[in-house]
Amino acid sequence: VSTSKPDTATAEADCLRGIGSQRLWSRLMTLGEIGALADGGVNRQALSEAEIAAWQYLTGLAAQGTGRPIEVSTDAAGNLFLTLPGRYRDLPPVLLGSHLDSQPAGGRFDGAYGVLSALEVLLTRAERGLESERDLIAVGWMNEEGSRFAPGMMGSQAFAGAAGIDEIRTVCDADGISVGAALDHLHTVFAGLPRRALGFPVAAYFELHIEQGPLLEAAGTNIGVVSGIQGKKTWRIEIDGESGHAGTLAMRDRRDPLAAFARVAVALDNELGHADEQVKFTIGRVVAEPNAPSVVPRKLTFSIDLRHPDNAMLTRLGMQVEALCSANARSCSVRAVPLVDAPSNGFDPQLGRLIETAASAFGYSSMPILSAAGHDARYLAQVTPSAMIFIPCREGISHSPAEWSTPEQVGAGADVLYATLEAWLQTQNQERHDAS
């Protein structure tokens, strides 16, 4: 359809200018103030007032762009889309992004970095007058973290059709507020935004993220070319017992779900948590009811997060969960509710090669890496060619106020995202020209 061939030499030169890391860094630090905790961490959980404020900050940045205007829209799942229009609006767009929500005591980089970098790539292209055939969209997926509403990655799952929006809307937080009510509130605050169809066709997806692990830092490598994401299974386990007075209820008559939990947790940790060097087993959340010092609890609920890069091993370990819980709960009753069941997946190798080439054009070192953490890209990969770019983070620490990457590391990742997109667009143009 296009008749003018893009000026490849100019595009390559632009590409090698990267995106100028100073403005991106400064915006990342500003975004980190939205939902900031006193210790430097961030509490910006999904669909909270803090995340709404983050949307306002992002849409404000989009409106300030000096190039072509960036269009803001959303969808039924509360995903945020910032679109730099291409020449042919009916072509499936390219998505770049991550998420704006954080853990209750999270850091400034996880998710926020990917969305801001995507917007920075779009703004930079607009400022430099670079046009593309397709729309380019910076996206912020709803509730990646899954801390306020479990499980996580709700926005990308709904977009990819991996979960139904009606079911997602019924999930409630600890205060009994449903995703549906929180989504409606978000859409009331942003009442003027056009609503896109859920799961529109996408040409490709790129997500830039901190590694959340120690490998890149340990190897002294600038860029991780993510080969895939390790498999993950999660459960909510409910142990029911019988409440009573701590001073009067005889020990032999007790059905104490907290005492049962302790035995269950030790058994799970022994059997699953030390199965091999690669397994990750975590109980991150525990809630006793009524949770009073002089009352034998009536109920205890806890979370299991189990991950392994090998799907067969993950399946084998996961099959033991329910039996280990029941066998160690003695007189209490146990219910194991499976939440996430995401096998390990591999990203598009062709996109991986583009990332590697882009990194090397800037003189950045790169290495293939398996993501130990889950990401929205897991679900996007089910509907479109997808890729992830990692940068190192200090000591591998994430989901913590201590999460940190340097301005140079942040800039390098954004450069590679910018150049990878450019290279991919050229490939597409080439394909379209070859086909025409």
Question: Pattern 20-59, binding to its own copies, x per CB under 8 A?
Answer: ----------------------------------------
Residues 6 or more apart from 211 whose CB is under 8 A from it? 217, 224, 369, 371, 390, 391, 392, 393, 396
Classify 52 in phi/psi space as left (phi over 0), alpha (psi -120 to 50) or beta. alpha
Q: Assess 246 for contact with its own copies (CB under 8 A).
A: yes
Q: Assess 150 for contact with its own copies (CB under 8 A).
A: yes
Taking CB under 8 A as the criterion, the residue among 1, 262, 312, 337 binding its own copies is: 262
Q: Assess 247 for contact with its own copies (CB under 8 A).
A: yes
Residues in the chain: 436
Q: Assess 211 for contact with its own copies (CB under 8 A).
A: yes
From the list 20-28, 208-216, 319-327, 359-367, the region that binds its own copies by CB under 8 A is: 208-216
36-40, Cβ contacts within 8 angstroms, sequence gap of 24 or more: 37/105, 37/401, 39/401, 40/108, 40/401
Residues 402-431 that bind its own copies (CB under 8 A): 402
Q: Assess 287 for contact with its own copies (CB under 8 A).
A: yes
Residues 213-232 that bind its own copies (CB under 8 A): 213-214, 230, 232
Which lies closer to its own copies via its Cβ, residue 5 or residue 245? 245
Taking CB under 8 A as the criterion, the residue among 16, 36, 105, 162 binding its own copies is: 105
Q: Assess 146 for contact with its own copies (CB under 8 A).
A: yes
Amino acid at 235: W
From the list 23-31, 61-69, 161-169, 289-297, the region that binds its own copies by CB under 8 A is: 289-297
Nearest to 304 by CA among 337, 257, 270, 329: 337
Residues 292-321 that bind its own copies (CB under 8 A): 292-298, 303, 305, 307
Helices (H), 97-246: 112-127, 154-160, 165-169, 179-189, 215-219
Taking CB under 8 A as the criterion, the residue among 86, 152, 224, 241 binding its own copies is: 152
- Size of the residue set binding its own copies (CB under 8 A): 71
Tokens of 238: 């409910």
Which lies closer to its own copies via its Cβ, residue 120 or residue 256? 256
Which lies closer to its own copies via its Cβ, residue 218 or residue 323? 218
Query: Distance between CA 83 and CA 73 in Å, rounded?
Result: 8
From the list 50-58, 120-128, 277-285, 411-419, the region that binds its own copies by CB under 8 A is: 277-285
Query: Distance between CA 117 and CA 109 in Å, rounded?
Result: 11
Strand partners, 295: 245
Q: Helix, strand, or coil here: 324?
A: helix
Question: Pattern 321-340, binding to its own copies, x per CB under 8 A?
Answer: --------------------
Taking CB under 8 A as the criterion, the residue among 12, 184, 269, 322 binding its own copies is: 269
Residues 363-402 that bind its own copies (CB under 8 A): 371-374, 396-400, 402
From the list 181-189, 207-215, 312-320, 416-424, the region that binds its own copies by CB under 8 A is: 207-215
Q: Quote the radius of gyration of the chain (alpha carbons, Å).
A: 23
Residues 6 or more apart from 425 whose CB is under 8 A from it? 94, 132, 133, 134
Tokens of 411: 């800039």
Query: Distance between CA 147 and CA 172 in Å, rounded?
Result: 11
Q: Assess 265 for contact with its own copies (CB under 8 A).
A: yes
